[in-house]
Amino acid sequence: MTFHMRGFVLLVFVLALALLGGAGGSTASTATHCNMPAPTGRQFCVTVEDIDGVSPSGLAGSGKRQVNVEAYQFYKLTIQNVAGTSTLTNGTMSVVLTDNFPGGATAPSTALYVPSAQAPSCAVVSTNPNRVDCALGNLAAGASTPTMVLGYRTSTSPGVTSTDAGVTIGFKEGSNPNGANPSSLAFAENTSLEPDPEASVAWSPSAQNVQLGTSPTFDSQFTTLQYKVPAGKPPFTATMNESNGTLCAPGLKQCFGELVTTDLSGAATGTFSATNPFHLVLTMDYALFPGGSTKSIAVTHKPDSGPIETISRRCSSDPPGPTEALPCITVDVVGQGQAKLLVIGVWGSQNGGWHPGLD
C-alpha cells in the first residue's frame, strides 16, 4: 500500500503499530511421562519440553530468487527417580528423530544434532536412523537429572510437516527382581514445523549462525534475516513476517512493498552490536519500485523502544566495518526484464518493523 499525501502519515503510523506483532509464532509444550512398574518396582518419570512452529531448514527457490533457511529446534528433558529409597543405576537414553509428510509418509529425519554443554553425555550414534544416545549415570531416590537440552538444526526434507522424537529411557535395575520393572520407558514427542510462506521462526542457540527466510516464490517480495548468536549468550526464539501493513516515517514521500516485522526481543542484552549486527534483506520485483532514482530509497524503522527513524545512509561496505555507525542500508538492482529485482539490505542491531520508501 502506498500513500502520497503527508497528511495521512500520522494515521498510517498509528495503524502500523497495531500490525507490528511477532510473526506467526512458535509455542513451547511440556509433557511428563512415567513408567508403570509392578507394585514392588521403582518408578521414574521424564519431563520433556519442545518448541512447535519452527521453520524447516534448507534451500528454496532458484537463482536470484533463492532463500536458505537455517533454523533450530530443541528437546529439554529431565528424568526423576520418583519413588522408593534406592538409587537407579546405569541409566541410558536414546532419541530417534523421524520426519512426517502429507498423507502419512515418514522417513529418517534430516535434522542435524548440535552438540552443546547442556547435554555433555549425548552423542550421535547414527544418521539413518537419526539417533542420539545419552548416558544418564546413577540417579538417587527422589533426585532428578540436570535438564538436558538436545538441539537440532531443523529438517531439510522437502515437504516435511513435523518431526517426531522417539525417546527411550532405561536403567539397569529393570532386569533385576524388584527393579524398575519394566526396565524402560518409551514415548514420542511431536514437533510441528511452520508452514507460512510469509513467516519464519527459529530457535537460536548459542554460537550458531541462524538464517530466517520467507518464500521466494509466493508473491512479489521475500525477506531474509541472518545473524550469529555469540558464544556465551543464551538461546532465544526469533520470528520474522511480511504483511500488507504500512509503516511510513513522517517526511517520506511514500512507502512501497510489504511491511517486514522482526522479533528478536528474546535475545539477551549485548547479543547484537556494532561488531555483531544482524543482516535484513528485502528482495522484491522491480515493478514495485514507484520510480525515480534508487538513490532516494530509505527504510522506515520502528524499533522495539525509541522513536521511529528513517534509515537513508548507505553502508560504506557490505558488510560494514566494526567502526561504522548502525543502522545503514545497501541498495542494489539485479537481473533484467521481468526478472529484475530490487534488493534492499539493512545492517543493524535494534529489532523492530521495517518498510522501504522514498526520501
359 residues of the chain, pLDDT tens digit each = 333 333 333 333 333 433 344 445 678 899 999 988 766 667 899 999 999 999 999 999 999 999 999 999 999 999 999 876 788 889 999 999 999 999 999 999 999 999 999 999 999 999 999 999 999 999 999 999 999 999 999 999 999 999 999 999 998 876 555 555 566 899 999 999 999 999 999 999 999 999 999 999 999 999 999 999 999 999 999 999 999 988 999 999 999 999 999 999 999 999 999 999 999 999 999 999 999 899 999 999 999 888 999 999 999 999 999 899 999 999 999 999 889 999 999 999 999 999 999 99
Q: Which amino acid is at 308?
A: I
Alpha carbon distance 145, 345 (integer Å): 45
What b/e sequence results for 185-209 when a residue is b if at least 16 CB atoms lie within 10 Å of its CB, and e otherwise? beeebebbbbebebbbbbbbbbebe
Q: Report the Cα–Cα distance between both ends of the chain, in Å, rounded.
A: 17
pLDDT of residue 176: 56
C-alpha cell at 155: 529438517
pLDDT of residue 85: 76
What is residue 173's three-state secondary structure? helix
The CATH number of domain 6-23+195-358 is 1.10.3470 = no
The CATH number of domain 27-54+72-192 is 3.40.50.300 = no
Alpha carbon distance 46, 34 (integer Å): 6
Judge contact between 311 and 260, C-beta under 8 A. no
Contacts of 57 (CB under 8 A, 6+ apart): 69, 70, 71, 153, 154, 155, 156
pLDDT of residue 14: 36
Residue recorded with cell 549486527 = 277
Alpha carbon distance 322, 329 (integer Å): 15
CATH 2.60.220, the chain: domain bounds = 6-23+195-358
Judge contact between 184 and 226, C-beta under 8 A. no
Give pTM, 2 decimals: 0.88
Alpha carbon distance 73, 55 (integer Å): 9
**Angle at Cα 164 formed by Cα 160 and Cα 170, nearest 5°?**
160
Alpha carbon distance 308, 311 (integer Å): 10
C-alpha cell at 180: 524398575
CATH 2.60.40.10, the chain: domain bounds = 27-54+72-192
